[in-house]
Homo-oligomer: A and B are copies of this chain.
Amino acid sequence: MLGKKRFVRIKNPYLDSMDEDILYHLDLGTKTHNLPAMFGDVKFVCVGGSPNRMKAFALFMHKELGLEDSGEDMKDICAGTDRYCMYKAGPVLSISHGMGIPSISIMLHELIKLLHHARCCDVTIIRIGTSGGIGIMPGSVVITDTAVDSFFKPRFEQVILDKIVTRSTELDKELAEELFNCSKEIPDFPTLIGHTMCTYDFYEGQGRLDGALCSFSREKKLDYLKRAYKAGVRNIEMESTVFAAMCGLCGLKGKLFRNA
């Protein structure tokens, strides 16, 4: 692959003929912003649910990278909207995506178009965040190899108009190994590679007994979690399948990296 740049792929034949592309939920656009100048150098995109955490992560990266200015006045690039927050520290973009598949999916559509318009290449995208661990030590970090749905299947069912299309949810294996090797260099940093289960619901979908609605017994819950463990699931969250599916289709080297 030497010398061959991997550009972000858009799979929409209509996009190039559009006079202007407005990224509504990011409050950015091709006519109002010089996207190549603003984002052309991006090589890593880190995404997570909470706006505060993604700001803290950007400040951390700013410091780690030894960037010159203080970083204290780091501005939310999406300040004009309250849907998502976005911060940039050198080649690292840090973006919040809210909770759940639909919320991250809107952000990813617009992020992928942003990277395309900015002519970014060789971009790695990593989702970081908390998750519920299954059969692992609390505080462990799970690096996802494959995202699975509530039925332990490595698929994302995308509804397109009124058709259901099944998409693959495999993630970059090399990147997983690379991240796993990094974790070995840090003392007391329990890390493992495993499947991550993605649900549409936090309470009934993840076997919680403390929601407003709960129709299953403690035994059924435990049986479900045991079956998940047996299927290779090591943590549960709410965004991984669509993340894996969209990154895979659009040529982003994608990875999930969760703190259980």
Q: Which A residues are closer than 8 A to B by beta carbons?
A: 10-15, 18, 21, 49-52, 82-83, 98-103, 105-106, 108-110, 112-113, 116, 150-152, 158-162, 165, 199-205, 207, 209-216, 218, 220-221, 224, 227, 238, 246, 249-250
Contact, CB under 8 Å: A99 / B113? no
Copies of this protein in the assembly total 2
Contact, CB under 8 Å: A98 / B101? no
Give CA–CA (A15, B210) in the complex, Å: 6
Give CA–CA (A102, B212) in the complex, Å: 15
Contact, CB under 8 Å: B11 / A212? yes
Give CA–CA (A216, B158) in the complex, Å: 13
Give the most central of A50, A102, A109, A162: most B CB within 10 Å.
A102
Set of chain B residues within 8 Å of A209, measured between Cβ atoms? 12, 14
Give CA–CA (A190, B195) in the complex, Å: 50
Give CA–CA (A250, B52) in the complex, Å: 32
Set of chain B residues within 8 Å of A102, measured between Cβ atoms? 99-103, 199-202, 238
Contact, CB under 8 Å: A203 / B161? no
Contact, CB under 8 Å: B109 / A213? yes
Q: What is the CB-to-nearest-CB distance from A211 to chain B, in angstroms, rounded to a whole number?
A: 5
> If A18-B210, A213-B246, A215-B160 touch, does A203 touch B109 (CB 8 Å cutoff)?
yes
Give CA–CA (A41, B160) in the complex, Å: 44
Residue of B with least CB distance to A12: B214
